[in-house]
């Protein structure tokens, strides 16, 4: 700003403090791509890794069900390009899978660990609630990251988006969790309009085409009998004897229940094999995960259940930015109402070559 803004004349608005930051542009399209680019430049300069290796690793990576919907387009990476440009959605997927690709291989490298610490910082910003202690720790972690940034990259200037990281704890105190006001949902809406533009290839009256097509789409949805349904189900699932006895014991009878291989509840899909969080971490305790075995619908009460097998949380692995889990020797079945889930997002489970199972949450838990 070179002069006073006319908006400052408003009694209850400040052009400096009245505008909340945007997590998508500051992080997914700002500090995270910058950190990834610097990390790759370092690994390439030291001949520890190459873009061709990165492309090959991304191409051969086996995605889980959830992340497979936004696979990282590895063909965008060029050996002659230093900047690795991705959309926010693909960048979000990248920071989930890149620890599996380079984390274990470079688990003692301070440059890679510095980049992974930024991924952990981003995840703390996707939480749905904060307290004073958590914000103080966030501020310390951000200060530590920026300090190490100056040490590791002394010739690289701090960008505005990296500088903005330091203000996030203060903005959260004023505005609440960043996911409540970030631009990701609005950008998702733009995707449909872009798709219409490319489909029509109309350069004469683009606004008219977008308005008409959008209005027709809205009309189609509002007249649909299924669009506003609370949930939808997959195919009917046959239970094994152990799970059937467990359901009968806890719900008296399973005759009034219908079992499915997945349920889509308020836009979120829970399917057999997904990992869910049944207990969130408090203080220094680790979260408890469970694997979905089947989905049940109580036809009498219209209550939806997830029948799961509780897992063992072994430890948190910093260089993988995820939790190592293991299966109990004997199944530890749990019955959870979907409305009572402590965290809404299902998680993919990945397998290391050494045989361990690891989950990397997309959101803070």
pLDDT in tens, 152-200: 999 999 988 999 999 999 999 999 999 999 988 888 888 888 888 888 8
* Whole-Å CA distances, 58 to 80, 94, 101, 363: 18, 9, 8, 22
- Of residues 119, 128, 159, 167, the one with CA closest to residue 318: 119
18: DSSP letter: S
CA angle centred on 119, ends 117 and 121, rounded to 5°: 70
pLDDT score, position 292:
94
pLDDT score, position 206:
86
Q: Provide φ and ψ at 352, rounded to 5°.
A: -80, 160
Overall average pLDDT of the 266-284 stretch? 86
Whether 97 has a pLDDT exceeding 60, the answer reads yes
pLDDT score, position 93:
95
Say which range, 27-36, 77-86, 110-119, has the weakest mean pLDDT: 77-86
Contact (Cβ atoms closer than 8 angstroms) between residue 227 and residue 128: no
CA distance 131 to 13: 26
Reported as a pLDDT band with limits 50, 70 and 90, residue 209 is: confident
pLDDT in tens, 190-201: 888 888 888 888
Q: 341: helix, coil or strand?
A: coil
CA distance 263 to 271: 6
pLDDT in tens, 321-349: 999 999 888 878 889 899 889 889 999 99
Contact (Cβ atoms closer than 8 angstroms) between residue 358 and residue 327: no
Model pTM score: 0.88
Overall average pLDDT of the 139-146 stretch? 96
CA distance 282 to 309: 22
Tell me which CATH code domain 231-359 carries: 2.30.30.490
Overall average pLDDT of the 257-263 stretch? 89
pLDDT score, position 302:
84
Contact (Cβ atoms closer than 8 angstroms) between residue 86 and residue 76: yes
Reported as a pLDDT band with limits 50, 70 and 90, residue 254 is: low
Instruction: Please tell me which residue, 80 or 64, carries the higher pLDDT value.
Output: 64
Q: Hey, where are the domains in the chain?
A: 15-180, 231-359
CA distance 94 to 24: 14
Contacting residues for 280 by C-beta, under 8 A, at least 6 apart: 287, 342, 343, 365
Say which range, 42-46, 214-218, 307-311, has the weakest mean pLDDT: 214-218
pLDDT score, position 365:
87
User: 245-280 burial, b if ≥16 CB within 10 A, otherwise e?
Assistant: ebbeeebeebeebebbbbbbbeeebbbbebbbbbbe
CA angle centred on 177, ends 310 and 181, rounded to 5°: 120
How far apart are the two ends of the chain, measured CA to CA in Å?
38
Reported as a pLDDT band with limits 50, 70 and 90, residue 284 is: low
Helix spans in the chain (H): 23, 32-45, 51-60, 88-98, 110-124, 132-152, 160-164, 168-175, 184-200, 206-223, 241-251
- State the chain's mean pLDDT as an integer: 88
């Amino acid at each position: 700003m070179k002069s006073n803004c006319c908006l400052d004349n408003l009694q209850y608005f400040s052009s400096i403090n009245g505008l909340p930051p945007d997590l998508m542009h500051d992080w997914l399209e700002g500090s995270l791509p910058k950190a990834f680019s610097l990390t790759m430049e370092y690994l390439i300069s030291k001949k520890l890794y190459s873009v061709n290796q990165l492309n090959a690793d991304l191409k051969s990576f086996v995605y889980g069900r959830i992340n497979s919907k936004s696979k990282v387009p590895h063909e965008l990476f060029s050996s002659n390009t230093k900047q690795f440009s991705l959309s926010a959605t693909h960048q979000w997927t990248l920071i989930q899978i890149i620890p599996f690709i380079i984390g274990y291989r470079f688990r003692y490298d301070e440059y890679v660990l510095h980049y992974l610490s930024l991924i952990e910082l981003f995840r703390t910003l996707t939480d749905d609630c904060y307290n004073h202690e958590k914000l103080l720790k966030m501020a310390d972690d951000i200060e530590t990251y920026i300090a190490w940034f100056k040490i590791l990259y002394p010739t690289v200037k701090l960008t505005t988006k990296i500088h903005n990281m330091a203000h996030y704890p203060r903005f959260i105190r004023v505005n609440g969790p960043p996911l409540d006001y970030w631009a990701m949902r609005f950008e998702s809406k733009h995707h449909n309009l872009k798709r219409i533009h490319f489909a029509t290839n109309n350069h004469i009256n683009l606004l008219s085409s977008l308005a008409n097509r959008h209005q027709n789409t809205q009309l189609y949805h509002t007249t649909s009998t299924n669009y506003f349904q609370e949930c939808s189900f997959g195919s009917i699932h046959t239970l094994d004897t152990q799970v059937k006895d467990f359901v009968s014991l806890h719900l008296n009878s399973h005759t009034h229940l219908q079992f499915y291989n997945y349920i889509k509840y308020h836009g979120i899909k829970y399917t057999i094999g997904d990992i869910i969080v049944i207990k969130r971490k408090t203080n220094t305790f680790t979260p408890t995960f469970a694997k979905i075995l089947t989905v049940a619908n109580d036809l009498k009460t219209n209550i939806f259940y997830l029948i799961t097998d509780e897992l063992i949380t072994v430890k948190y692995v910093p260089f993988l930015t995820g939790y190592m889990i293991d299966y109990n020797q004997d199944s530890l079945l749990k019955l959870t109402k979907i409305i009572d889930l402590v965290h809404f997002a299902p998680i993919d489970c990945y397998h290391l070559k050494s045989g361990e199972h690891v989950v990397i949450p997309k959101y803070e838990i």
